[in-house]
Amino acid sequence: MFTIIVGILVGIVIAVGIAALSDFQKFSAGIATGLVVILLSIGVSSFTVISAGHTGVQVTFGEVNLNPLTEGVHIVNPISSITDVDVRLQKAELKGANAGTKDLQVVHTDIVVNYRLDPLKVPHIYKEFGLNVDEKVLGPGINEAFKSVTGHYTSEELVTKRDLVSAEILQHLVTKMAPFNIAVSNISLVNFGFSPEYQKAIEAKVISVQQTAKAQQDLERIKVEAASRIAQADGEAKAIAIQAAAIQSNGGENYVKLQWIEKWNGALPSTMLGGDTKTLMNIGK
């Protein structure tokens, strides 16, 4: 539209300039030149190029054309204005969101959301909200989803089940934004916490629970190890008892002699006692 207006003004200026001359042929030539400039301006304004990752919205005299202009070259109404709308992955951020927990504590966080606009529905979105979807649609939706989900959890659960809470907020927001043709793909809770005093109390309790669980595990391990040692000792005692019974039942003296023979290295003793156990004889070389 701006190009057409400029072309018309340039054409008029050229025509008037030449018309100032008295020669009729020059006047005719001026008119023709002005018309050519105007037609060229109209021709140029009849084409538009939509860049990659964008969708064009065509507005004519304030009326939005609901047919989207996809990537590439398009022939459009030369008097229409074209707005490029980014349909790539975008980020919206809600800072300082606050909500009440199930146990009446106040949690605060910054929420970062990744989203895309539906390329085929961009003219509808533009007509309803303009280009400010962050403030008019996403912001209130994020805040409502955050408050709705956190109200079902205690403050301690929000800390220990943070991934689950984030997933529920995401699902709530996806459902909330679907009617507005906004696809939410991810959500992050940043600077998540409570008051400093309450945060320390929660952390201390979590640590205490973890230590108790570890102590319980250690106790169970000790019990298992003790039972194993008892079973092993009991087995060894039973084996010794069985072996002793076998020795007694098969002649203990003969068994002892057999054990002595099996362990003898074949060398004669260098000394021996006399029969009265008072005489010591050296029988070595």
3-state SS, the chain, equals CHHHHHHHHHHHHHHHHHHCCCCHHHHHHHHHHHHHHHHHHHHHHCEEEECCCEEEEEEECCEEEEEEECCEEEECCCCCEEEEEECCCEEEEEEEEEEECCCCCEEEEEEEEEEEECHHHHHHHHHHHCCCHHHHHHHHHHHHHHHHHHCCCCHHHHHHCHHHHHHHHHHHHHHHHHHHCEEEEEEEEEEEECCHHHHHHHHHHHHHHHHHHHHHHHHHHHHHHHHHHHHHHHHHHHHHHHHHHHHHHCCHHHHHHHHHHHHCCCCCCCEEECCCCCCEEECCC
Q: Which residue has the higher pLDDT, 231 or 14?
A: 231
List of residues 6+ apart from 169 with CB closer than 8 A: 111, 145, 146, 149, 187, 189
Residue 255 has pLDDT above 50, yes or no: yes
pLDDT band at 6 (very low <50, low <70, confident <90, very high): very low
pLDDT one-digit tens code per residue, 108-133: 999 999 999 999 999 999 999 988 89
pLDDT one-digit tens code per residue, 233-254: 777 777 676 666 666 665 556 5
pLDDT one-digit tens code per residue, 86-102: 999 999 999 989 999 99
Query: How confident is the model at residue 204, as a pLDDT?
Result: 79
Contact 65, 123 (CB under 8 A): yes
CB atoms within 10 A of CB 233: 10
- Looking at every residue in the chain, the average pLDDT score rounds to 79
